Amino acid sequence: MTRLSNTYLITLTILLSMFGGTACSSDETASSNTEEPTTDEETERERDENSDDDDDSGETSEENDNNQEDDTPPVVTCNYPQESIPFVNYGDVIPNLEFSEVYLADRSRSTFSFKDFYCSPEYEQYDSMTLILVADWCAPCNDYMKAIDDFYHDALLASNTLPVFIDLQNVFYQPASTLAAYRKVTPYVTPGLGIIAGMADSNIQAMFDTGFYTFTPYSAVIRKSDMKVIAKENSQNGRMLLVESLMNVVNDLDADWQSALGAPPPPPPFMSNCAEGQEETSEPNNLPEEATTLTAGTYQGGICGEPAVDMYYVEDGDWTVNLLFSNAQGDLDMALFRTPESTEFEVVSDSVDDNESISFTGAGYIYIGGYQNASAPYTLELINAASENAGGEG
């Protein structure tokens, strides 16, 4: 069992690094800041204290907020909540980011600021803002945006959250322009959804270099009533927890999402998708020392019981292992590690399509796992280049 938990830690390390570890990697140094929002009632305007031509209205008290002396409607002032500096963690108020140009949902251009979102009647139908942070150099960001659009397009439109896609950096790691953002986002997000913005056209280019996000793609949900961060992305084992819970979050803005998203949820209970007899006879094979040594050929097996792990071993050579299965039946992943003491995978094949494949030169252990307790029968092929070439001699 220790091997399994080790393996999950390895998976976490690997997959996190795969998800764009070159992003801002600053630690989450907690900032115990601004518990007092210091409600500056700016409505007390400086009326002249030495006004000598004061009439005899008798109102000399200063708590006269809305002096409705005339029939003119009172001026409605909207004050953005006190910003949290630095802006890092749950409960912080996001600074008022102002964009000189964005693309709106209909792809028309406009200015946009978070204060607009907070104050303007134009956005009064929204009660939260979902920030989706991407970068031009971030390939997984494309799948991330596409997943949001594929799974949540209609739900987001029906919800009260405003998606704001922000392109942080171009391929040169400089602040991305709005046009770059447009080119980055539109191939993956169908029109009608959200606002597209580039950091180069904002007032605070370095705002997010505070440790607020630690990788891309990244998301955060900002509650409109106080412009505070109520949910942040939290990648665990390669899963993007906020996106998985996005609709729940935006539909329940007062829940404790910090706790809910702070730890990975337990995997669903294991349910076998194997038929009778599809489990390989080499079980148990859940630890490196139980691994079956493969020779060139084809093997039938399955992730058919708990733990959702099968181990194999490939001796030295120049080889390819193909894991053939139906992802619809169960999402199996495969990885290679060199020794039982390895602290990280050498190669990872963790697509969400049918089949996985690893090619390598040298000896190693093959780890086959069911993602989140997934179960499926599989066919395992070892193709050994040396043995294939050996056939012709003689």
Binding region for Ca ion (CB under 5 A): 285-286, 310, 331, 333
Nearest to Ca ion of 207, 376 (CB atom): 376
Nearest to Ca ion of 74, 284 (CB atom): 284
3-state secondary structure at position 170 = coil
Q: Which residues contact 12 (CB under 8 A, 6 or more apart)?
A: 236, 237, 238
Nearest to Ca ion of 163, 330 (CB atom): 330
Bridge partners (DSSP) listed for residue 321 = 358, 382
Residue 307 CB, nearest approach to Ca ion (Å): 7
Nearest to Ca ion of 82, 329 (CB atom): 329
Closest to 319 (Cα-Cα) out of 365, 286, 288, 355: 365
Residue 358 CB, nearest approach to Ca ion (Å): 12
Residue 359 CB, nearest approach to Ca ion (Å): 17
Residue 357 CB, nearest approach to Ca ion (Å): 11
Residue 241 CB, nearest approach to Ca ion (Å): 19
> How many Å separate Cα 275 from the centre of its chain?
36
Nearest to Ca ion of 86, 238 (CB atom): 238
Cis before 217? omega within 30: yes
Copy the structure tokens of residue 374: 């997934």
The count of residues in the chain is 394
Report the distance separating Cα 106 and Cα 317, nearest Å. 56
Residue 14 CB, nearest approach to Ca ion (Å): 14
Q: Which residues contact 33 (CB under 8 A, 6 or more apart)?
A: 84, 85, 86, 92
Closest to 224 (Cα-Cα) out of 119, 104, 132, 102: 119
Nearest to Ca ion of 193, 291 (CB atom): 291
